[in-house]
């Protein structure tokens, strides 16, 4: 069984639409910036991948994550040829921090934030009449978890159309926690390169409309072949290679594909030494003998780690890569770590290919919350 992706939308630090973001990724321009609203003097890290949408003067404002969420949902349903009445359409939201930044501003600056503002369902109900909304706070794999739930809902006959979205704004508590727990602090996020030191926060939101095959009114961007989710609970923070291997192999089984059928892998690629080594090791195991092997890339080198929405943002870039026959490079990758040598990582300039038909998207979160999705091009 497959599910149609009929609507797409995204916003990140490098663009306000999927195509803008994809073009920026292919251009490979450095996009990190000095911290805009957090006092850099309090932290070792001095950079982040923030969206530049705050008022003049740099003061922070509440409900930014909610604003991006309603924007991408509106754009995705319009892209799918649907109206804005979502009273009969479930909306599933993946996130890591929810509206925690708004709570920080309420506590510190007495910002005008009501309790109801901390729940995304409040704005979705007010803006779209959405009566069925669920929020999945599943760390960095949240949106691919939500996508798996969406396909289940359609398969079980609970809905013909589901909106899946994700959003996260940088929070000072989250930024400060990362600043304390990472052994080294990077100046830039450099996944799979020997210079990698750790992750830096990014901001953004993404949304897709998923429909039962053949029921949409507009063009089909791509098709979801299968979604695998698990929670190995092996360690609070360290990724477990066995849990990730099971997720990848189960995704292939659900999608009815073999490793040699995968043309593109969108890597989780956080730039932390432990994640990069673990993901590389698992990929070498799963794709062993699958010649010539898929091309691989990691977009967090330009978007930063957009947390709960990162998996869905990678999926959108996979869809555009298959449409355009172009894979953006991993920014700053010049000297791959030994475990990643031979994996087909795209370096320097975009890779061009005529046969990008099946893509794998990886997303792994703290606590062993793993999700892997397989999508195919709509030809």
> What was the pLDDT predicted at 55?
86
> What was the pLDDT predicted at 218?
82
**In terms of CATH, what superfamily is 224-377?**
Thiolase/Chalcone synthase (3.40.47.10)
Annotation: CATH topology of 3-212: Peroxisomal Thiolase; Chain A, domain 1 (3.40.47)
Please tell me which residue in 196, 221, 252, 268 is annotated as part of the active site: 268
> What was the pLDDT predicted at 181?
87
Q: Give me the mean pLDDT over the 67-81 stretch.
A: 98
Q: What is the pairing mode between strands 264-266 and 295-297? A: parallel
Q: Is the pLDDT of residue 119 over 70?
A: yes
Q: What span, in angstroms and rounded, lies between the C-alpha atoms of 275 and 252?
A: 21
> What was the pLDDT predicted at 40?
85
Q: What span, in angstroms and rounded, lies between the C-alpha atoms of 156 and 154?
A: 5
Residue 58 — very low, low, confident or very high, per pLDDT cuts 50/70/90?
A: low
| Residue 305 annotated in active site | yes
Contact between 172 and 99 (Cβ < 8 Å): no
* pLDDT tens figures, 245-299: 999 999 999 999 999 999 999 999 999 999 999 999 999 999 998 888 999 999 9
Q: What span, in angstroms and rounded, lies between the C-alpha atoms of 101 and 99?
A: 5
Residue 185 — very low, low, confident or very high, per pLDDT cuts 50/70/90?
A: confident
Q: Is the pLDDT of residue 7 over 80?
A: yes
Q: Is the pLDDT of residue 112 over 90?
A: yes
Q: Give me the mean pLDDT over the 158-164 stretch.
A: 97
Q: Which helix (H) or strand (E) holds 155?
A: helix 142-155
**What whole-number percentage of the chain has pLDDT above 70?**
99
Please tell me which residue in 26, 140, 196, 221 is annotated as part of the active site: 140
Please tell me which residue in 196, 221, 252, 305 is annotated as part of the active site: 305
Please give the structure tokens belonging to residue 108: 């510190």
Name the H helices within 256-360: 273-286, 300-303, 310-324
Q: Is the pLDDT of residue 22 over 90?
A: yes
Q: Higher pLDDT residue, 218 or 198?
A: 198
Contacts of 247 (CB under 8 A, 6+ apart): 228, 229, 230, 370, 371, 372
Contact between 105 and 111 (Cβ < 8 Å): yes
Residue matched to tokens 């892998």: 265
Alpha-carbon distances, residue 365 vs 78, 103, 236 (angstroms): 31, 23, 10
> What was the pLDDT predicted at 339?
97
Q: Is the pLDDT of residue 61 over 70?
A: yes
> What was the pLDDT predicted at 337?
97
Instruction: Dump the DSSP string for 15-66.
Output: BSSHHHHHHHHHHT----EE-SSS-GGG-S--EEB----SPTT----S-HHH
* pLDDT tens figures, 228-239: 999 998 888 888
Q: What span, in angstroms and rounded, lies between the C-alpha atoms of 103 and 186?
A: 28
Buried/exposed 61-88: b ≥16 CB within 10 Å, e otherwise? ebbbbbbbbbbbbbbbbebbebeeebee
Q: Is the pLDDT of residue 216 over 80?
A: yes
Q: Is the pLDDT of residue 163 over 90?
A: yes
> What was the pLDDT predicted at 245?
96
Q: What is the pairing mode between strands 358-365 and 264-266? A: parallel
Which of 17, 97, 21, 113 is CA-nearest to residue 60?
Answer: 113
Alpha-carbon distances, residue 43 vs 13, 173, 180, 271 (angstroms): 21, 11, 8, 19
> What was the pLDDT predicted at 280?
97
Q: Give me the mean pLDDT over the 221-225 stretch.
A: 98
* pLDDT tens figures, 348-362: 999 998 789 999 999
pTM: 0.97
Q: Is the pLDDT of residue 44 over 70?
A: yes
* pLDDT tens figures, 314-343: 999 999 999 999 999 999 999 999 999 999
Alpha-carbon distances, residue 282 vs 16, 29, 275, 285, 296 (angstroms): 33, 29, 11, 5, 13
User: Hey, CA dihedral for 62, 66, 72, 78, is it positive or negative?
Assistant: negative
Per-domain boundaries in the chain: 3-212, 224-377
* pLDDT tens figures, 167-177: 999 999 999 99
Q: Give me the mean pLDDT over the 60-88 stretch.
A: 97
Residue 182 — very low, low, confident or very high, per pLDDT cuts 50/70/90?
A: confident
Q: What span, in angstroms and rounded, lies between the C-alpha atoms of 316 and 313?
A: 5
């Amino acid at each position: 069984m497959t599910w149609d992706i009929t609507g797409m939308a995204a916003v990140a630090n490098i663009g306000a639409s999927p195509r803008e973001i994809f073009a920026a990724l292919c251009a490979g321009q450095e996009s990190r910036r000095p911290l805009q609203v957090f006092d850099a003097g309090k932290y070792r890290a001095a950079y982040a991948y923030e969206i530049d949408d705050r008022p003049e003067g740099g003061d922070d404002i509440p409900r930014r994550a909610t604003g991006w969420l309603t924007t991408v949902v509106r754009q995705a349903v319009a892209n799918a040829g649907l109206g804005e009445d979502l009273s009969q359409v479930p909306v599933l939201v993946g996130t890591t921090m929810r509206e925690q930044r708004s709570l920080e501003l309420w506590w510190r600056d007495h910002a005008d934030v009501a309790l109801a503002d901390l729940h995304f369902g409040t704005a979705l109900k007010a803006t779209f009449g959405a009566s069925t909304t669920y929020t999945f706070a599943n760390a960095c794999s949240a949106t691919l978890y939500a996508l798996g739930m969406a396909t289940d809902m359609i398969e079980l006959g609970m809905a013909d159309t589901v909106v899946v979205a994700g959003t996260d704004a940088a929070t000072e508590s989250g930024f400060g926690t990362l600043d304390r727990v990472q052994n080294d602090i990077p100046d830039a996020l450099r996944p799979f390169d020997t210079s990698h030191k750790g992750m830096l926060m990014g901001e953004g939101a993404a949304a897709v409309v998923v429909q039962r095959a053949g029921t949409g009114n507009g063009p089909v961007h791509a098709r979801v072949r299968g979604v695998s989710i698990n929670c190995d609970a092996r360690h609070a923070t360290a990724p477990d290679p066995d849990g990730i291997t099971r997720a990848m192999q189960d995704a292939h089984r659900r999608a009815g594909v073999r490793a040699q059928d995968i043309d593109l892998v969108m890597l989780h690629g956080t730039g932390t030494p432990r994640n990069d080594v673990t993901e590389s090791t698992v990929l070498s195991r799963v794709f062993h003998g699958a010649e010539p092997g898929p091309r691989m890339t990691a977009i967090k080198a330009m978007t930063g780690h957009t947390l709960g929405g990162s998996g869905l943002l990678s999926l959108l870039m996979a869809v555009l890569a298959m449409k355009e026959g172009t894979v953006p490079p991993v920014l700053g990758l010049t000297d791959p770590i030994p475990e990643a040598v031979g994996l087909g990582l795209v370096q320097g300039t975009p890779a061009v290919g005529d046969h990008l038909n099946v893509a794998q998207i990886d997303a792994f979160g703290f606590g062993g919350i793993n999700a892997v999705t397989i999508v195919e091009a709509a030809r």
